[in-house]
Structures are given as structure tokens and as C-alpha cells.
Amino acid sequence: MTSSGIANRQETEQESSTMDEGTLIYEKSVVGRRGYTLPETGGTETEILSGIPENLRRDAAANLPEVTEGEAMRHFIGLSVKNHHIDKGFYPLGSCTMKYNPRLNEAAASHPSFTGHHPLAPDTTAQGALRLMYTLSGYLSEISGLPSVSLQPVAGAQGELAGLMIMRTYHKAKGAACTRIIIPDSAHGTNPASVRSVGFTPLQIKSNEQGVVAPEAVEAVMDDQVAGMMLTNPNTLGIFETHVAEIARIVHSRGGLMYLDGANLNANMGIFRPGDVGFDIMHFNLHKTFSTPHGGGGPGGGALGVRAELDRFLPTPVLEEDSHGELFFNYRRPDSIGRMHSFYGNFSNMVRAYAYIRTLGGRGLRRASETAVLNANYLKELIRKDYDLPYEGHCMHEFVISGSRQKKLGVKTLDISKRLLDFGIHPPTNYFPLIVPEALMIEPTETESKETLDHFAAVMKQIAREAREDSEKVTSAPHETPVGRLDEVGAARGLDVCYRD
């Protein structure tokens, strides 16, 4: 282990005393110890070797640890609990909606009748899976108020890309030469990136003192060159954009389209339907609101909803129902933007989202949203005096505080987050949105109890006190984790999981 690049970095930061070397499986290895006994092969060595091509034969025995099955099991379970995850503790990661994911949805997604289905099976033998997809699209339509939903995109960012490609194709079909997309300064970084990817230019506008986009700001930049506007609601400050209908009127009056970044629908379900207030296109993150576990980079689900007029541009194939009630994939859609992903997207995310929606029902979804908003407001009130609150008023499913006061004492937001690890709490989103200095973006979600929220608030108060009285304790944190502060970029880019070089 010590030859690994990451291990070297860990040890320079923090002495190896907390590395509990005893758990490293190669150190546990005892010559001749076995975890598994292979059955007799019944041939001589020469006979067996004759079946293996020369170039594939080993010169020496593989360097494998020799341990019992129980030791191997403990090793891997030990490693798994060193990492923080939603099943282990609180994870208030704003914008990412780290809610608890019910095990029932996992059981449904891993059911052999789904996992054993071949993706190239003909539509006629896949009617059950297709029915699930078709029904889920209908549910997402109902939730969003947008009549057509494609489940093909596999990430929020890919949903954005598909949505913007539709915008581009729509304008082209009309003969309009639009080049720009309006984006507020509170937007998620994927918005301007997606805009650039399709060849448009982002046109940034400022949020006002209340943290929302004012119609006048849109009016001032809206012209025939603008293809549309991307908006997030609630925005990334956790504030509900109150002027959407008026903004949509302005954008539509000059021929533009309205795009909702619906990565986080956690405050909206059953309460606010984007399609009803003028949004034309939106994506949903099934891996945030609709209970697919995430955080490791995928697989995700970035379903895309559009209003009826834009249906013809959706990615192919489009799932349709024939006059006998049979479902089939329609590939003959001449106006389509084309295929966005192999096969039909990430099917297991769809199963989880379907199971989630079916178990909660319409009223349950609404209650989840109401509870998410209640939890966020409760938590905000508990800690608002200990940190700076850049925007007054009610928040939606998340809120943003600033560590500016603590920064003046020499304690950065990053230090606060590292200190939280000592209490078994995953840090909130740091330094985003960019318009709030020393931002901490907190999203408790609806699945946490009052006790968990009270505990988190008590810890945040304690850290604020430490910043005033014993700042070294915060700036040198974490103290209780298996490793200290890592070179995070180096750990990700130069990942080295080999025991020996």
C-alpha cells in the first residue's frame, strides 16, 4: 500500500497511525491459508496446460493475498464504511438532493426479469419493460405539465444538451438565426457548458437583491438573436423564482423558448408544474429527486420533457403505442435531433423512479416536497444567527449561508466542511452558487428526522463557536477520519489502486 501515490500523500498529511495497517489484506496474508477450494480438475498438469495457449501462461504464481473468506469479507466491509455515504449518515449536499433511497426501489431495479432482459430483444417480447417506460413518461408528464417525455438522456447535463439541440433545431426549422441563450448568474455550471456545446453563446444576467431574476433584466437583453432562456426554479440559492410567467411572456413574445433546469424537483412535486407557467422544455434528474443513488458519477437519468409543438424533435427512438395497445420504438421521426445514447437510456434508473412514484402516489410526492421545504426552513432558522444569511425570507428545499464571518477569523468554508467530517456528517456543497462568497449550500431533504436536523444544527453552532474560540481546531480538521486532508485533484486524477508497482 505504501507504494501507492495516494497513500504517500495521505501519510505526509497525517501520520499513518490512523491508517490501521492491520486491515490491509496483503499484510494479513499467511502462506497456505485458503478462502476457497477449487474442485479437482482430474488431469495431469501437462494435460491442463496443453489447453492454454503458450502466450497466456504465467511464468510465476500470481501475487494474491492468502486469506480466509471471512478475512476477505471483513477487509472489504471495513473499506466500505471508511467512506461516507447516505446509508451511513447525514448528507446535506445542496443541489444534489442526497435523499435516502428506499431499498424497495433497489429490489425492483435488480429484479431478474428486468436485469436479465437483453437490450436488443424485439419490442414484442419486451412489452413489460416498455410498459414501465411508457407509464413512467406519463407520470413525469403529469408532474411537469409537459405532454411529451423522453427517458433517453443519462444525466442532467445530457438532458440539457438534448433540450438545447431541440431549441436549435426548432429555430432552424423556422428559419430564425438565433445565437444566444439567457442564463442567470445563479445557474449551475452545466447550463453555460451545454449552451456552448450546441454552438450558442451564454448571455449572463444578474439576479436582483432578493436573489431572483427580475423581468426587467430579461426585457433589457431579449431580442431576436436570443434563442431562449434557461432558468432553475427554485434557483440554486433555494429561492423560488416568482416572476416566471412574466419572464416567459417576454421571452415568447420575441420568439424564444423557456428551458427549465429541473435537476431538482424536490420542492415542486405536486405543487408547481413548470409546463403550466410557460416552460417549453425541461430535464428531470431521476438520480436526484426520483431516488436513484448517485455521487459516484453515474449511471444517471436525465429525462427530457417538452411541450406538444416540440415533440417531433425528441431523440429517437420514441416509444409509442399502436392501435392494439402494443408498445413499439418508432425510429422514423424525420425531424428528430437523433439518438443521444446507446439503446434507450439507463433502464434501472427508470425502474427506481417508477417504483418511487408508485409507492408514494400523487399525494405522497406532494408531501415529500412539502417536507423537504419544511426541513430546509426549520434548519435555516436554527443556524441563521451563527452564520451569515445572504438572502432573507423563506427558502424552498435548500438554502445558502455564507461563512464570511468565520473567514474574518481565519476559518474558511472549506475548514468548516472538513470539521463536519469529525461528526460523521458529509459537508454541504461548498463555494456554490458563485454569487455568494464562502457559500455553504445546505439541502437536508425530506427523509431526515427532526433529531438529525437538531444534531446538525448543534454541530454547526459548535463549529461557529470553535471558529471564535479555538480556530486551530477547525483549520486543522478533520481529526477523526481514516485520512486527513487529501490532495483531492491528485487523488482523482492520479488514482493508483495497486498494492505494488
Output the nine-digit C-alpha cell for 224: 431576436
The nearest distance, CB 100 to ligand PLP, in angstroms, is 18
Other CB atoms within 10 Å distance of the CB of residue 31: 5
Of the pair 373, 459, the CB lying nearest ligand PLP is at: 373
Choosing from 264, 346, 429, 475, the residue that interacts with ligand PLP (CB under 6 A) is 264
- Sketch the per residue contact string, 186 through 205, with ligand PLP: x for CB under 6 A, - otherwise: --x-x---------------
Distance CA 162, CA 168 (A): 10
The nearest distance, CB 406 to ligand PLP, in angstroms, is 25
Distance CA 219, CA 213 (A): 11
The nearest distance, CB 155 to ligand PLP, in angstroms, is 4
CA distances from 50 to 41, 44, 53, 200 (A): 14, 10, 7, 62
From 152-160, 200-208, 305-313, 391-399, give the range in contact with ligand PLP by CB under 6 A.
152-160
Cβ atoms 57, 25 nearer than 8 A? no
The residue type of 171 is H
First to last CA, the chain: 10
Of the pair 286, 459, the CB lying nearest ligand PLP is at: 286
Choosing from 162, 207, 251, 261, the residue that interacts with ligand PLP (CB under 6 A) is 261
Of the pair 347, 423, the CB lying nearest ligand PLP is at: 347
157 sits near ligand PLP (criterion: CB under 6 A) = yes
From 64-72, 216-224, 257-265, 445-453, give the range in contact with ligand PLP by CB under 6 A.
257-265
447 sits near ligand PLP (criterion: CB under 6 A) = no
Burial class, 280, CB count within 10 angstroms (exposed 0-12 / middle 13-18 / buried 19+): buried
Of the pair 98, 263, the CB lying nearest ligand PLP is at: 263
Residue 32 Ramachandran class (φ > 0 left, ψ -120 to 50 alpha, else beta): left
From 6-14, 154-162, 368-376, 410-418, give the range in contact with ligand PLP by CB under 6 A.
154-162
155 sits near ligand PLP (criterion: CB under 6 A) = yes
Of the pair 259, 344, the CB lying nearest ligand PLP is at: 259
The nearest distance, CB 96 to ligand PLP, in angstroms, is 6
Instruction: Return the closest-CA partner of residue 179 out of 256, 261, 252.
Output: 256
Instruction: Return the closest-CA partner of residue 379 out of 466, 456, 438.
Output: 456
Choosing from 302, 305, 390, 433, the residue that interacts with ligand PLP (CB under 6 A) is 302
* Beta-bridge partners for 231: 260
The nearest distance, CB 271 to ligand PLP, in angstroms, is 18
Of the pair 238, 302, the CB lying nearest ligand PLP is at: 302
- Sketch the per residue contact string, 216 through 235, with ligand PLP: x for CB under 6 A, - otherwise: ----------------x---
Distance CA 89, CA 78 (A): 16
243 sits near ligand PLP (criterion: CB under 6 A) = no
Of the pair 157, 483, the CB lying nearest ligand PLP is at: 157
Other CB atoms within 10 Å distance of the CB of residue 6: 18
Cβ atoms 95, 443 nearer than 8 A? yes
Of the pair 14, 233, the CB lying nearest ligand PLP is at: 233
Q: Which residue is nearest to ligand PLP (CB)?
A: 156
The nearest distance, CB 83 to ligand PLP, in angstroms, is 19
The nearest distance, CB 500 to ligand PLP, in angstroms, is 36
Range list of H helices, 437-494:
450-469, 471-475, 488-493
Distance CA 71, CA 29 (A): 9
Choosing from 211, 270, 300, 390, the residue that interacts with ligand PLP (CB under 6 A) is 300
Distance CA 284, CA 290 (A): 9
Site for ligand PLP in 459-498 (CB under 6 A): none
CA distances from 346 to 4, 131, 340 (A): 34, 15, 12
Cβ atoms 131, 327 nearer than 8 A? yes
From 82-90, 177-185, 259-267, 393-401, give the range in contact with ligand PLP by CB under 6 A.
259-267
Site for ligand PLP in 77-136 (CB under 6 A): 95-96
The nearest distance, CB 300 to ligand PLP, in angstroms, is 5
Choosing from 285, 375, 402, 445, the residue that interacts with ligand PLP (CB under 6 A) is 285
Of the pair 25, 93, the CB lying nearest ligand PLP is at: 93
Can you tell me whether residue 99 is helix, strand or coil?
coil
Cβ atoms 159, 153 nearer than 8 A? yes
Q: How many CA atoms lie within 13 A of 385 on its CB side?
A: 6
Maximum Cα–Cα distance for the chain, whole Å?
85
156 sits near ligand PLP (criterion: CB under 6 A) = yes
Block residue for cell numbers 450558442:
200
Residues contributing to the site for ligand PLP (CB under 6 A) = 95-96, 155-157, 188, 190, 232, 236, 261, 263-264, 285, 300, 302
